[in-house]
Structure 1
Amino acid sequence: MKVRPMPETDGAPRRSRSQPRRSHGTSARGGASGDTEASGREAPLYGALDLGTNNCRLLIAKPARDGFRVVDSFSRIVRLGEGLSRTGRLDDAAMERAYDALMMCGERVARRGVEPARLMAVATQACRQADNGAAFIERVRVGTGLKLRIIDPIEEARLAVEGCLNLFDQNAEAVLVVDVGGGSTELSWLRRHEGGFTLEGWMSAPIGVVTLAERHPEPANARNGELAGWYEEMIVDMGAAIAAAPVDPALRTIFTAGRAHLVGTSGAITSLAGIHLGLRRYQRNLVDGLWMTRGDCEAAAERLKALGPEGRAAESCIGPDRADLVLAGAAIMEAVQRAWPSERVRVADRGLREGLLLQRIREDRKPPRRRRRRGRGGQPPAT
């Protein structure tokens, strides 16, 4: 798998807290907004729906010159995988929350006029793992008309990489994309070669923010020292899950030498970015593309621990729905940074949905195959 960088996305990437830049609209992958195709016809709408262990997310977009322009979006925390690690099944209340969110997604898709053939709808770890995952997907199909496809971990990792390509530092020798989900974490290692980055290896660890938080409930009324021990337990747990990375051990030398960087995609890293920037409200154009150091990430995690559950819930970049999960996400990032040392981390408020859209738009732009000319009598012409 060889991947090449794309033009920058909306909300130009940030390099430091002291260099603010404005967002330039909602075009992804840069270029003109491109509401019409080359033929002059109105560009069709595409949709990408991602039902994860923790979130239900939808993007509706129009193709643009170098990617797409977002027309509508939806995100809701549903915690579909709540309790799954204990029971092996999707909980009834969790399925109701997810079903309600999917109903809203279906209504948006219908209202915007997205054709079924241009809606890519996928489900990930919770539905992969649960005994009743396939049954829930069928219920959604019958009740909402949405046809979700349960994707395997390698496709999930590949789509996350696809959505983050233009955040790669082209001078880096290697990049590790870390996609932290609710029920699993996908890691993708890429090495720079002539003409782009090549996938060197990947793995899916069956630990995400929901599963890790359920394994290690936050101690009530704990002092800071006690929280430190609890937090360290989460880091060690995740570290054990990623210890046997299926890549050449020599690749780690590139990271320890400072010639590589991480790309974090998910709420785990965007929450740390929001705390690091001190945002009073979440602003994607300031977060997406931000460069953070390992020290920045650790400092943000320390601030989150000091805030306590109520303080985290009051933070606009976190909120009450994620207050009990955000430190699990920070612990996962810390475990990865210990295993694959990198002073630089780039924040991605993008990933699987963007990868779905870019993949499908690219496929539709391919010229149709030319039919082979046939000679008289229906036989191919002589050569």
Structure 2
Amino acid sequence: MKIKKYGAIDIGSNAIRLLVANVIEEKDKAPKFKKSSLVRVPIRLGADSFVSGEISENNIHRMVDAMKAFKLLMKVHGVERYKACATSAMREASNGAMVAEKVLNESGIEIDIIDGAKEAQIISSTDLKHLINSDETYLYVDVGGGSTEFTIFSRGEIIKSKSFKIGTVRLINNPKEKNKKLFAKVENWIVKHTKEYKRISLIGSGGNINKIFKMSGMDAGRPISYIYLNAQYEFLKKMSYEERISELSLNPDRSDVIVPATKIYLSAMKWSKARRIYVPKIGLSDGIIKSLYFDIL
């Protein structure tokens, strides 16, 4: 048996994460990927990028500190290979390339600023294909802080994929009219590309749907119904930001984004006529680990 350690840094619009994973190799067996450590820091880059168009000095300093800390943590864990990927907040910031260069100079970590298509490709390299039945149709929805990736799977094949600028942090900071137009675009795309399928299920990924699934108390692998998700949405919407923190024990940076995130999943279910949503624990960082191991990054 051989055990290798890999690291993945996901620089999102709402938070930055470091995942350290063990890759267990055994003769004549497929490699096993096991999470060893996950560190999440709430540096909301999207609040800068989507409002002022650039990453603020304060968040640049915080980001550099986070990368230095991640470098040390990976050293302690004995990580042999790692990759850092940044999504929409860094991509859209006018100083995104400069920030990446500063991080490289001060921490030694090189950041790959990826587009929505690349993000969807990395996520799809996770166990997603093992979770779907070859004779069924699924709409995969990955909700982030700056964008949401939608992918339609049918009979085990990717039929259509699209990234929309409809992330949770963006929705909080956008004027209502702009959000209305964004939702209308997503609705048109989902209706157009799912109407031919009689039966469709959702697969949801992202920190917010993971939290909702955990709150549901459901067993792993069981889907959440549309009725339950709608009830949760109405429940969360009626609570104040402070109540979600004090009564539901949500982190401050989760308490505000969980409402728009739930709305995105719920809307996707409504427009695709899906009655259930599966919530496997997969995301960009998991995809980075697998992509590193199989040398497809």
The TM-score normalised by the length of structure 1 is 0.70
Q: 1:303-342, aligned counterparts within 5 Å? A: 303-316=235-248, 318-342=250-274
Out of 175, 182, 186, the residue aligned to residue 242 of structure 1 is 186
Deviations 1:233-272 (A, max 9, x none): 8984542231342x89464231xx3x22111100231232
User: Higher helix proportion, which one?
Assistant: 2
What CA distance in whole angstroms lies between the structure 1 residues aligned with 2:130 and 2:234?
27
2:10 is the counterpart of 1:50: yes
Deviations 1:346-368 (A, max 9, x none): 1133211111112222339xxxx
Q: 1:23-172, aligned counterparts within 5 Å? A: 36-37=1-2, 43-64=3-24, 65-115=30-80, 118-165=81-128, 168-170=131-133
Q: Secondary structure at the match of 1:63?
A: strand
Give the aligned residue type for 1:252.
K
Give the aligned residue type for 1:253.
E
- How many residues in Structure 1 have an aligned counterpart in Structure 2? 291
Give the aligned residue type for 2:22.
K
What CA distance in whole angstroms lies between the structure 2 residues aligned with 1:213 and 1:362?
37
| Segment of structure 1 superposing worse, 315-324 or 302-311 | 315-324
| Segment of structure 1 superposing worse, 263-272 or 47-56 | 263-272
Q: Quote the residue 2:27 is aligned against.
A: none
Q: Secondary structure at the match of 1:88?
A: coil
Q: Quote the residue 1:302 is aligned against.
A: 234
Deviations 1:291-341 (A, max 9, x none): 101111111111112222111112455222221211111111122222212
Higher Rg:
1
Deviation at 1:204, TM superposition (A): 0.9
| Segment of structure 1 superposing worse, 145-154 or 163-172 | 163-172
| Segment of structure 1 superposing worse, 203-212 or 93-102 | 93-102
2:160 is the counterpart of 1:201: yes
What CA distance in whole angstroms lies between the structure 1 residues aligned with 2:192 and 2:13?
31
What CA distance in whole angstroms lies between the structure 1 residues aligned with 2:85 and 2:169?
19
1:315 to 1:120, Cα distance in 2 relative to 1, 3 A? farther
Deviations 1:89-112 (A, max 9, x none): 112222233333222211111112
| Segment of structure 1 superposing worse, 152-161 or 317-326 | 317-326
Deviation at 1:343, TM superposition (A): 0.4
Deviation at 1:274, TM superposition (A): 3.2
1:294 to 1:112, Cα distance in 2 relative to 1, 3 A? same
Deviation at 1:176, TM superposition (A): 1.2
1:167 to 1:100, Cα distance in 2 relative to 1, 3 A? farther
Q: Secondary structure at the match of 2:61?
A: helix
What CA distance in whole angstroms lies between the structure 2 residues aligned with 1:121 and 1:206?
21
Q: Give unpaired runs (5+ residues) of structure 1.
A: 1-35, 38-42, 217-229, 278-285, 365-383
Is the CA contact 1:239–1:339 (under 8 Å) kept in the aligned structure 2? no
Is the CA contact 1:172–1:261 (under 8 Å) kept in the aligned structure 2? no
Q: Secondary structure at the match of 1:114?
A: coil
Q: Secondary structure at the match of 1:242?
A: helix
2:214 is the counterpart of 1:214: no
